[in-house]
Amino acid sequence: TSIVNHSPKYFHLNKDEKGFDNISLGNAWFYPINHAQFSLNQVQTNNITPLCLSTTRKRTEIDDSNKHLIQSHYLKKFVNKYYDESAVKKSKLNNRSYIPSVVFLGVGLGAHLQQALLSRLYKNIYIYEPELDFFYASLHTTDYEKLIKNLQTDQNIFFVINQSAHVLCQTILKSNLVSGFFNHTRLQIIEHYTSDHFEETKQALRNIYPSLFNQHGFFEDECIGISHTSKHLKANAKFITTTQNKKRNETALIIGSGPSLDEQIDKIKLIKDKVVIFSCSSSLEILHKNGIKPDFHVEIERLDGMIPRLEFIHDEEYLKGITLLCLNTIHPKLLEYFGDHINALKMNDAGQLILKNLLHEDALVLTHCNPTSGNGALAFAHALGFTDIVLTGIDMGQPSDDYHHSKDSLYYSDTKLNISKIETKYSCKGNFGIEVKTTDLLMQARNLLESLLKQKAEINCFNCSNGAYIEGATPLPIDKFIQNMSTKDSLNKANLLSAIKNEKTYQIANSAAEANKIHESFKECWLTALKELENKILNNNLLPEKINTITAFFKHLNSLHSVSNHLSNENSIDDFLFRSLTSKLTLNVTTLLLATEQHDNFKDYYQEIRHYWMEYNQTMLKYARETYGLSNDQLNIEPYLPKEKQP
């Protein structure tokens, strides 16, 4: 934002009747009293009862969703031992609480900024003022140069001026990757003045907050992904290439399994031959039930959870007429069900980081492809050259907790896949006006859909789903879409799919022997990376013997993060594995220690947690070496579970 030649339009710096600097609002003054005193009162109140977005921790229970993860068993071991739910509920943040990051909503004349920064040592400081006149006035009353010079070298400050709440959120998301997600386990919000815009901003911050902690994978996932990738290499898999940038003129129709699909499925049947259809995970069973065969089916999950759905469909001829679009991490058995398959390298994945140096230099790395198959479908459709893309059943929300998917999905069947309810936390703007309920996962998924659409301006996207509004996807009633397509000719699907595969894919090797050679190099790189990871853990004092305070603990985490960032320039796979090994445990440990920060026995808590953490690290390195090449259903984690202490 240029401010050198700014001339205030609506709000002006003036002296009020008492001779104090103030902002004129026309017929009123911005501050009811001396702005410095007003700001001091506000800071003191915020220190006594700070408003924060915070991570939470519950007791860990082992169930079908996490019993296959060694990490879950370790978390249960130490979290349940120290987590006192009643004590946490009673505890409240106060002026002694450690708060690593802060967002200032509104600058005004800026006096509260210096006062707040003197009262707490924040790692990340975000200053947001959407009204340029206010910030311009503060330049005459606040010494920003001094404010910045007074910061310590490891503090970060970000100014977001005359911008939208979206820009603020993106600034925080980007900072999170650089400064360390643990520094956002508490994010204080100091609202200098009230406005409708700041209410929307606070909601936007709540919406993106969970995604701050989902930007890193975890080590077991990476190990499983590595094993699955190794099997794809042995099988001489087909990958998407970036060498051909030809754009397709046909319309891609992405069909999810959201509740609104129930109202639209019969209408989609009318134009199924005029569009290229992408099904998304559980929507495949719905399309099969309704006599619609997709051209492409998208899967992004690395575990074998989709296999029971394919067995339920039990229609080999139907499945063999579909091309599977999948990531390098996908369970290899899935490939057997489909007539053909095309792989893409998953962004931010251990296998991708190794393969980028082993495969064709133009192998496509797919971004924005998770956390849902709907995200994957949009990313794949664009990667294959489609720019005219329509969404149906991509609801990213639900009308109620018990109506979360299409009624034709297996979630409402008598099988073990039945899910009676999916609890929602939030409401969000609907695609056609009416608010819908949504979850942390779906909010993250929607944010990533919007991010991809914003980055790829060439995509002309329409959303027929009666779910959440997706910025960048123009709302389009399904009847209007069907009407638009009614004059189109049916596509020659066989010729079209053949052309896409010829133009956009390549085989990784010319022979089985060459594919095996690539696999052996891949395995060697993986084992070398594990050795380097072990050296990093041993050489960087990952967990000191003594840490007495939560402040000291965060200081140590920041030191580790700084070392990791420095080393990442030299060895990205090594750094990536270090982050994946420590990220989830760091989040849980940080949240747990924050809940006990003012307890007298904090030092004892740390000692016990350190013991479990060190044991976990060594166990996981052993696990990674010994289970290479095993798909998730072949794993036996029993030898790697934490042992009970003998009496």
pLDDT digits (tens, 9 = 90+) for 153-176: 889 999 999 999 989 999 999 998
Residue-wise pLDDT for 534-560, tens only, equals 988 877 567 788 888 888 888 888 887
Quickly list DSSP for 195-214: -HHHHHHHHHHHHHGGGGGS
Quickly list DSSP for 489-535: PPP-HHHHHHHHHHHHEEES-SSHHHHHHHHHHHHHHHHHHHHHHHH
Domain-ending residue, one of 453, 477, 507:
507
197 and 252, same domain (yes or no): no
Domain-ending residue, one of 478, 507, 536:
507
Does residue 140 surpass a pLDDT of 60? Answer: yes
Closest CA to 283 of 263, 266, 261, 302: 261
Residues 263 and 483: beta-carbon distance below 8 Å: no
Whether 68 is in a domain gets the answer yes
Q: Residue 413: what pLDDT?
A: 73
Whether 438 is in a domain gets the answer yes
Question: What own/partner pairs with CB < 8 Å and gap ≥ 24 does 73-80 have?
Answer: 73/637, 73/641, 73/642, 74/585, 74/612, 74/615, 74/616, 74/619, 74/642, 75/585, 75/588, 77/612, 77/642, 78/592, 78/608, 78/609, 78/612, 79/588, 79/592
pTM of the model: 0.85
165 and 264, same domain (yes or no): no
Q: Residue 545: what pLDDT?
A: 83
Q: How many CB atoms are closer than 10 A to CB 151? A: 14
Whether 303 is in a domain gets the answer yes
Whether 299 is in a domain gets the answer yes
CA dist 467 and 262 (Å) reads: 12
Whether 309 is in a domain gets the answer yes
Q: Residue 56: what pLDDT?
A: 77
Q: Residue 441: what pLDDT?
A: 87
Closest CA to 417 of 498, 308, 510, 315: 308
Q: Using omega within 30 degrees of 0 as the cis cutoff, is the peptide bond preceding 399 cis?
A: no
CA dist 320 and 196 (Å) reads: 54
28 and 154, same domain (yes or no): yes
Structural domain harbouring 325: 237-507
CATH number, domain of 404, equals: 3.90.1480
Among 138-152, 261-275, 551-565, the range scoring the smallest mean pLDDT is: 551-565
CATH number, domain of 202, equals: 3.40.50
Whether 2 is in a domain gets the answer no
452 and 595, same domain (yes or no): no
Closest CA to 353 of 134, 200, 532: 532
Element (H, E) at 187: strand 186-191
Q: How far is Cα of residue 577 from the mean position of the Cα atoms in its chain?
A: 18
69 and 43, same domain (yes or no): no
Whether 188 is in a domain gets the answer yes
Instruction: Please name the residues in contact with 475: beta carbons below 8 A apart, sequence gap of 6 or more.
Output: 431, 432, 462, 463, 469
Domain-ending residue, one of 507, 534, 554:
507
CA dist 80 and 574 (Å) reads: 31
Residue-wise pLDDT for 396-439, tens only, equals 998 887 788 888 787 777 666 666 677 787 788 999 988 899 98
In 218-362, DSSP assigns E strands to: 238-240, 248-255, 276-280, 296-299, 323-327, 340-346
64 and 32, same domain (yes or no): no
87 and 104, same domain (yes or no): no
489 and 475, same domain (yes or no): yes
Q: Residue 570: what pLDDT?
A: 44
79 and 108, same domain (yes or no): no
Buried b (16+ CB within 10 A) or exposed e, 444-482: bbbbbbbbbbeebeebebbbbbbbbbbebbebbebeebb
Average pLDDT over residues 202-222: 85
415: left (phi > 0), else alpha (psi -120 to 50), else beta?
beta
Q: How many domains does the chain have?
A: 3
Average pLDDT over residues 258-262: 93
Instruction: Please name the residues in contact with 363: beta carbons below 8 A apart, sequence gap of 6 or more.
Output: 239, 240, 241, 242, 345, 355, 356
Residue-wise pLDDT for 614-625, tens only, equals 889 999 999 999
Closest CA to 578 of 537, 631, 634: 537
Whether 256 is in a domain gets the answer yes
205 and 100, same domain (yes or no): yes
289 and 192, same domain (yes or no): no
305 and 442, same domain (yes or no): yes
Q: Which strands sit side by side in the sheet containing 124-129, from one edge to the other?
A: 52-54, 186-191, 101-105, 124-129, 156-161
Write the single-letter amino acid at 68.
Answer: H
